[in-house]
A = this chain, B = another copy of it.
Amino acid sequence: MTAFPAHVVVREVGLRDGLQSIQKVLPTPQKIEWIRDAYAAGQREIEVGSFVPARLLPQLADTAELVAFAKTLPGLLVSVLVPNLKGAEKAIESGADLMLIPLSASHAHSLANLRKTPDDVIAEVARMRAARDAAGSKILIEGGIGTAFGCTIQGKVEESEILRCMQRLLDAGADRVSIADTVGYANPAAVHDLFTKARALAGEKFWCGHFHDTRGLALANVYAALQAGVPRFDATLAGIGGCPHAPGASGNASSEDLAYMLADMGLDTGIDIEALLELRKKVAGWLEGESLHGALWQAGVPKTFARSGQTVAA
């Protein structure tokens, strides 16, 4: 049995990956309440939005305002997604701590989603790195390699292509690299295999696993990635989300189920599950009528569950 990371981060991406798939525009005060409550529940890494043109994703038009609020919370690592240099410039200006650049390892998906090849995106990352350094900014640059287990357009994506993109991202100046199963094609054996190789390649620069629960395997995949030593996972509260350019994809791993699994395994996440479930209730009210996911909210935590993640006698 591999030793698991002692501390595991559940990075909340519901405000970005979740809300971008939902038509309804959540008002800024509610998003701020979400960030505040997530922070109060112990979450210390939150992707608050995306610097994409507001006409493309009006749901995320308030990203700069959200970064400004989130940066008032001590010790919170504030992430944003950026699709290109222009977005990166806004991210640098916003004062966010990390910007994630999505790269689709599937050429077909990359062209459909971003109208760029993977290598075009890598070249753009090099320009972002130059802009970051020229601005004297400390914002971290994370290259997130998506459709890493295949995609709905192209089908199979070669492992060698993932690892090639990862090396090139690092060469281009990315501080962090991550892997995403954008459309829920991964299985735990494939995850263990690829994430082991990715960690061997990128070492401590390997940052995060991002799994969609399209076919019910997100938590099994997280477990396999944990065994490969991955200490950080993206998730969305109530499992909201999907990918607008990948038909059939449903939500992300749900933050509350993931945080519960980790804590019940005795791994420290810093998250108060009950507080997270309270927040889920609130967000579910705001998103009434939308498709929500997850299991824990319905059953509640077991009688044997303690906040520390240690099981206790009843």
Contact = CB atoms under 8 A, between A and B. Distances in A.
A295 B223 contact: no
A280 interface: no
Given A185-B304, A257-B215, A314 B220 contact: no
B295 A214 contact: yes
B219 A216 contact: yes
Contact of A220 (B154, B215, B223, B300): B223
Interface in A202-232: 213-217, 219-220, 222-224
B215 A296 contact: yes
Interface majority SS (helix, strand, loop, mixed), chain A: loop
A241 interface: no
Contacts of A250: 295, 298-299
A266 B189 contact: yes
A18 interface: no
A243 interface: no
Interface string A275-314: 0000000000000000000111011111110000001111
A156 B248 CA distance: 40
A150 interface: yes
Given A155-B313, A250-B298, A311-B156, A265 B190 contact: yes
A265 B149 CA distance: 12
Contact of A223 (B213, B224, B261): B224
A304 B156 contact: yes
A269 interface: no
Contacts of A254: 216
A144 interface: no
A56 interface: no
A187 B312 contact: no
A250 B294 CA distance: 13
A264 interface: yes
Interface string A234-271: 00000000000000111000100100110011100000
A185 B261 contact: no
A190 B4 CA distance: 13
A254 B219 CA distance: 15
Contacts of A188: 220, 223, 261, 265
A265 B219 contact: no
Interface centre among A189, A294, A312 (most CB of B within 10 A): A189
20 contacts: A1-B192, A150-B302, A150-B311, A152-B303, A154-B314, A156-B313, A184-B299, A185-B304, A187-B261, A190-B265, A215-B299, A216-B261, A220-B220, A220-B222, A220-B223, A223-B224, A248-B299, A248-B300, A250-B298, A250-B299
Given A154-B314, A155-B314, A188-B261, 10 more contacts: A152-B302, A184-B302, A188-B220, A214-B295, A215-B301, A217-B219, A217-B257, A219-B219, A220-B220, A249-B299
